Amino acid sequence: MTPQVTIPVLWEMKQQNQKIVALTAYDFTFARMVDAAGIDLILVGDSLGMVVQGRTNTLPVTMDEMIYHTAMVARAAERALVVGDMPFMSYQTDIAAAIGNAGRFIKEAGAAAVKLEGGAAVSPVIRAITDAGIPVQAHIGLTPQSVHQMGGYRVQRDAERLLADAHEVQAAGAFSVVLEGIPADIAETITGALDIPTIGIGAGPDCDGQILVLHDLLGLHDRKLPRFVKQYRDLTAPIREGLTAYSLEVRAGRFPAPEHCYR
């Protein structure tokens, strides 16, 4: 068994120029496969609001839903570092509530760390949660919980602000930062300027690691994919074929066959 991925392991990977492979997962069955594939970090993303719950954005996802999904993933992961994503309004209202909610991911769900969105504006929250002994991954650039403020899912191009945000979250104690939806050259500059690992999604090849949404990578849905996604498999077709075959056989009386029956 390969050694468990811890935060110092991720820091060492940055030092050694070894790419960090991260991916989302939301349940036990998939998390088992993701972990066995040697993925270093599993994020239980609030993207589950869209790819699991069928919502149009991540904003309605609740703390209880995130705890439910994170617990399933944490039970499955033997090697990967499991990070729970703090949902909208679970860390924005007051610092005591933010620490309490972050603590639930560790105590109730078995995550090793939490992630939250925002730069300089949330650095006091990152500091407080980190001081409580809970590792925090920051997330800057295109932050989906601010979809209304951004006027849609837009690439963020203010290099000065992005670099300042990156420095702020690092100074506040974040162990890593997700860079989402920013030009590749800005992500490269940020990655070179920080001591903590950057994990990119729509941020070019020069981040210390990459993350994608599991359902996008495997083609598990038929939503339009953003430009930055590479769909490595299209599993909807074989799944539909299996379901159609089952349905045809039941209707034709061919399933169950004698070998599926008890005597």
Binding site for ligand KIV (CB under 6 A): 24, 43, 45-47, 85, 139, 178, 180, 201, 211, 213
Task: Output the smallest distance, CB 117 to ligand KIV, in A.
Answer: 7
- Considering the complex, state which of residue 98 and residue 178 has its C-beta at the smaller distance from ligand KIV: 178
Task: Output the smallest distance, CB 51 to ligand KIV, in A.
Answer: 8
- Considering the complex, state which of residue 92 and residue 243 has its C-beta at the smaller distance from ligand KIV: 92
Task: Output the smallest distance, CB 144 to ligand KIV, in A.
Answer: 7
- Considering the complex, state which of residue 138 and residue 243 has its C-beta at the smaller distance from ligand KIV: 138
Q: What's the DSSP call for residue 58?
A: S
Cα–Cα distance for residue pair 178/136, rounded to 1 Å:
11
How distant, in Å, are the alpha carbons of 44, 79, 108, 198, 208 from that of 21?
A: 14, 13, 26, 11, 9
Which three-class secondary structure state does DSSP give residue 26? Answer: coil
From 12, 78, 108, 180, active-site residue: 180
Task: Output the smallest distance, CB 122 to ligand KIV, in A.
Answer: 14
DSSP of 26-66: -SHHHHHHHHHTT-SEEEE-TTHHHHTT--SSSTT--HHHH
Q: Greatest CA span in the chain, whole angstroms?
A: 73
- Considering the complex, state which of residue 54 and residue 253 has its C-beta at the smaller distance from ligand KIV: 54
Which three-class secondary structure state does DSSP give residue 140? Answer: strand
Tokens linked to 250: 């039941």
Phi/psi region, residue 190 (left: phi>0; alpha: psi -120 to 50; beta: rest), is alpha
How distant, in Å, are the alpha carbons of 13, 171, 186 from that of 17?
A: 6, 22, 19
- Considering the complex, state which of residue 114 and residue 178 has its C-beta at the smaller distance from ligand KIV: 178
Q: Which residue is nearest to ligand KIV (CB)?
A: 45
Asked about 12 being catalytic, the answer comes back as no
Cα–Cα distance for residue pair 80/74, rounded to 1 Å:
9
**Residues taking part in catalysis:** 180
